[in-house]
Amino acid sequence: MAYDAGMLSAVCGEINACLCGSARVDKVLMPTPDEVVLQLHAAHKTRRLSLNVSGNAPRMTFTDESKDNPLRPPMFCMLLRKHLTSAALLSVRQEGFERVARLCFSSRDEMGYAEDLFLMVEIMGKYSNLMLLDSSDRILGALRVVDFTTSRVRQVLPGMTYELPPPQEKRDPRETDSATFASLLSQADPDRPAEKWITSTFLGTASQVARELVWQAAGRADATVGELESGRMAEVFVSRFERLARGEITPTLVLDREGRPLDYAYDAVHYFENAATTRTYETLGQLFDAFYAARDRAEHLRALSADISHLLKNETARLRRKLEAQTAELEEAEKADGYRRMGDLLTANLYRIRRGDETALCCDWEAEGQPEVRVPLDARLSPSANAQRYYKLYNKAKTARTVLTRQIAAARAELDYLSSVGVFAEAAENAEELEGIRAELRREGYLKSTAKQPGKGKNPPQTKLRTFTSPGGYRVMVGANNLQNEYLTFTLAEKGDLWFHVKGMPGSHVVLFCGGAEPSEEDYTFAAVVAAHYSGASGKGTAVDYTRVRELRRVPGARPGFVVYHTNYSAYVDPADFARLTGETQG
């Protein structure tokens, strides 16, 4: 759902109840360009307050998630560290019933004098912003500067006096009693959807909240204004915002039928009926972590891997253009046997050709019926020179065919390699694994090496391999890049261990460390599902090859991690079983 003013009000209440008056800013972090995390210390406990102003999911909330931070913090982060480190958080106040919160701090300036500072958090979709103000509301800095070229209505520039966003012409639901609500409802168009009327009449009420209110009053979320009983609707509406004002909330997560997060709310949700299930949490921070944690990690890793994605995209496009040109050249080179035949025909019919002829009518003595074949000539050359010209074209085409066949095979192998790197980049679970992929690309010459980074021919430090425990208690390890695949298979694994890899696709090497023993069927299935999950495969019936490590051979001259094997079995599994099988077993 949208992070509306009601949700912001609930979050402000939770923050004030937990921290304000006793919390001090221990650290200011900025893991992404759109998020500031204030690490606060209060009552011998550390809490993280996330202020996220991204365009797709802006929010303010507590979080238990720890994220990687850039080595060089942005300028706005440095500004906040300068003014807010060791500052006391006095209160968090919502401005009216808008999606704007004011965090009030007590700090000291460079001279040691006390000063009041305010951090404004505007949760307004793509216009979301963070601003630091002094005691007179003068803007000291903003995450997103808005000048006259960007907006003629409202500018956000250092040195200017802060102004709230333009107010909406709507009513504050907290100041609306039952009689007023019923009066407003009676004046509305009876054919208008009740949900639309609520969102257009009252401040800070998201569509999801309006649908829930209508469902509670009418028993269905799509009721029109005329289908509502005004007294019941007024009772439901007023009761919700009275509970919110008292801080009586029920953080609720809505899950689809597959158990995936679908929506969230600060109060109970019923209007999905049988199409979804709900789960409640003790705090809003826990709710937001459950809803956003996986998605935020994925988006954070996508941002960290942008350089890898850009490189792979460009290199893949270059190779495909090269392959297209080489394939066209190879088709031309396939005419080699035709050139040789033309040369043979001219040689056998030299006595019939005169200098200056543009074509020669040659008898094919070797063909059945000895037909006559017309051969194009270069009139400037003698008959024998024309024959030699065709033999030269033949030799050139034959050499080109050999070279092009080899080059096309190499280009396709390189495409397969880049595809495998793309699979690893997509499956990376942290910044360390991404750095391992960069180290591999530097080693293979795709990225430049610096003095502090290992170049080609040097072994970069191995990042920690993913480790699981099978149902039978066996250790299962997974490579996160081609270098790790090589290291896992030919250094860590013993000849009697079992090796798994998705069939005919790029993916991780998976080794089940059994020391030559025969694991159970459940252990085999577990390792095969892990291999399918960490690959480019999807869907039921994914084929996974497995064999003993002793059966594997390196490919001479091939990229790291590429192996051949001739003795193997195949298992057919569903990668979607990964979460069920490994839920509590990841090491």
More reliable by pLDDT, 555 or 8: 8
200-229 per-position pLDDT tens digit: 999 989 999 999 999 999 999 999 999 999
User: What's the mean per-residue pLDDT of the chain?
Assistant: 89
Asked whether the predicted pLDDT for residue 516 surpasses 60, the reply is yes
Mean pLDDT of 389-395: 89
- pLDDT for 453: 52
More confident: 303 or 489: 489
- Looking at residue 37, its pLDDT comes to 96
Query: What are the extents of the domains in the chain?
Result: 5-142, 173-301, 309-424, 465-582
pLDDT at residue 423 is higher than 60 = yes
> Is the pLDDT reported for residue 539 higher than 50?
yes
pLDDT recorded at residue 452: 53
Q: Which residue has the higher pLDDT, 258 or 427?
A: 427
Whether 5-142 and 173-301 share one fold: the answer is no
Q: What is the CATH number of domain 5-142?
A: 2.30.310.10
Give tens-digit pLDDT for 80-119.
Answer: 999 999 999 999 999 999 999 999 999 988 787 889 999 9
In the predicted structure, residue 189 carries a pLDDT above the cut 60: yes
**Pick among 3.40.50, 1.10.8, 1.20.81, 2.30.29: CATH of 173-301:** 1.10.8
- Whether the pLDDT of residue 575 is over 50: the answer is yes
Taking the C-alpha atoms of residue 285 and residue 580, their distance in angstroms, rounded to an integer, is 26
CA 227 vs. chain centroid, Å, equals 44
Q: Which of 62-76, 292-306, 542-556 has the highest mean pLDDT?
A: 542-556
pLDDT score of 318: 94
Burial 403-428 (b: 16+ CB within 10 A, else e): ebeebbeebeebbebbebbbbbbebb
The pair phi, psi for residue 428, each rounded to 5°, is -60, 135
Q: Residue 450's pLDDT is what?
A: 61
DSSP-derived secondary structure for 34-57: TEEEEEEEETTEEEEEEEE--SSS
pLDDT range class, residue 18, cuts 50, 70, 90: confident
User: What tens digit of pLDDT does each residue of 459-495 get?
Assistant: 444 558 999 999 999 999 999 999 999 999 999 999 9
The SS3 assignment for 109 reads coil
Residue 253's nearest CA partner among 244, 245, 243, 261 is 261
Whether residue 587 is predicted with pLDDT greater than 60 in this model: the reply is no
Q: Which pLDDT score, from 0 to 100, does residue 370 have?
A: 67
Q: Name the pTM for this structure.
A: 0.65
Q: Is the pLDDT assigned to residue 348 strictly greater than 90? A: no
Per-residue model confidence (pLDDT) at position 338: 84
Q: How confident is the model at residue 66 (pLDDT cuts 50, 70, 90)?
A: confident
Query: Residue 20 pLDDT more than 70?
Result: no
DSSP 187-223: TS-TTSBHHHHHHHHBTT--HHHHHHHHHHHHSSTT-
Range with the poorest average pLDDT among 1-15, 164-178, 420-434: 420-434
